[in-house]
Amino acid sequence: MSGSTSRDVATAAFLGLGAMGAPMAAHLAAARPTLVWNRTSSVAEAHAASHGSRDVPLDAIAEAEVIVSCLSRTVDVVDVARQVAGDLRPGTVWVDCTSGEPEPSRVLATRLGEHGVAYLDAPVSGGTAGAEAGTLTVMAGGDADVLERVRPVLAAFAGRIVHVGPVGAGHAVKAVNNTLLAANLWAAGEGLVALVRAGVPATTALEVINASSGRSFPTEVLIPERVVTREFPVTFTLGLLAKDVGIARGVLDAAGSPAPVLRQVAELLTVALRELGPDVDHVAALQLVERWAGSEIR
């Protein structure tokens, strides 16, 4: 589409107006005609009223040349796709920004392909802040040429769009990224709480670690902002992180490569989910580390 004025007015459809999807769809609607659909239709109506998108019933999304989905799970995408696949026109591109599962997405891609519809898995990182700023990172799996065609569409909400591999690779990278987040977070929590118990204030330890080789996104950003402050604001729930780590477990199964550290972290997150519930912020997992230690990280 780049450089092609005719393609730049392609109609888009956006499915799933949640915390991530709503601002992504708003950016999309600011750039081109955008149909929106949501399982609870009043949400779509409100979106249309606020952002100039057009709320439609599900079967009307077949009008769009590019369909972007941002639903809870792959099973939801499969369900919606099953309902509309027969109506889609050949040449349509389905860009699935859901944080989903590689294997069933590959099955979905095959089914859509039978209708001449190309599928890209294209989960995003950057959180709700990135969605609102329109600066998300998109990690896309699937045909590279297809990605090039829709790149101008995705640019409405993305600051960086990276082709990472075949269908499923986007989901795999997202899941592994978030599992590294979980691993680095948990490791940092264990180390910091032991230092606190040795008489080192957490902020002091963080100052040194962040000037040294032990630093990571959790030590640089999450723990100073959310743990040391005792705020634990809910921006990305533990339930969602645990879902992504579960997807990564499938990536590891498929790879067949040993991953004792990541598997360990996956088990601990499952424990945290049981003990703290799914609705706390993901960083609150460290409250379990603190409880087990008998000391707070601060």
> Which residues carry out catalysis?
174
- In whole angstroms, the minimum distance from the beta carbon of 288 to a copy of itself comes to 9
For the chain, report the end-to-end CA distance as a whole number of angstroms. Answer: 51
Q: Which two tokens stand for residue 83?
A: 């309902």
Which residue's CB is nearer to a copy of itself, number 72 or number 210? 210
Tally Cβ neighbours within 10 Å of residue 200. 14
What residues between 126 and 185 interact with a copy of itself by CB under 8 A? Answer: 126, 137, 139, 160, 162-166, 168-169, 172-173, 176-181, 183-184
3-state class of 275 per DSSP? Answer: helix
215-248 core/surface letters (b: 16 or more CB in 10 A; e: else): ebebbeebbbebbbeeebeeebbbebbbbbbebb
Which residue's CB is nearer to a copy of itself, number 87 or number 190? 190
What residues between 233 and 272 interact with a copy of itself by CB under 8 A? Answer: 248-249, 251-268, 270-271
Which residue's CB is nearer to a copy of itself, number 152 or number 168? 168
Q: Are 82 and 60 in contact (CB under 8 A)?
A: no
If one asks whether residue 104 binds a copy of itself (CB under 8 A), the answer comes out as no
Which residue's CB is nearer to a copy of itself, number 22 or number 206? 206
Q: How far is CA 182 from CA 50, 106, 216, 266, in A?
A: 36, 26, 11, 8
- In whole angstroms, the minimum distance from the beta carbon of 158 to a copy of itself comes to 11
Tally Cβ neighbours within 10 Å of residue 154. 24
The DSSP bridge partners found for residue 124 are 138
- In whole angstroms, the minimum distance from the beta carbon of 217 to a copy of itself comes to 5
CA angle 93, 242, 230 (to 5 degrees): 120
**Near a copy of itself by CB under 8 A, which window of 42-50, 59-67, 142-150, 284-292?**
284-292
- In whole angstroms, the minimum distance from the beta carbon of 183 to a copy of itself comes to 4
What residues between 11 and 40 interact with a copy of itself by CB under 8 A? Answer: none
> What's the rounded Cα separation, in Å, for the pair 245 and 46?
33
- In whole angstroms, the minimum distance from the beta carbon of 100 to a copy of itself comes to 14
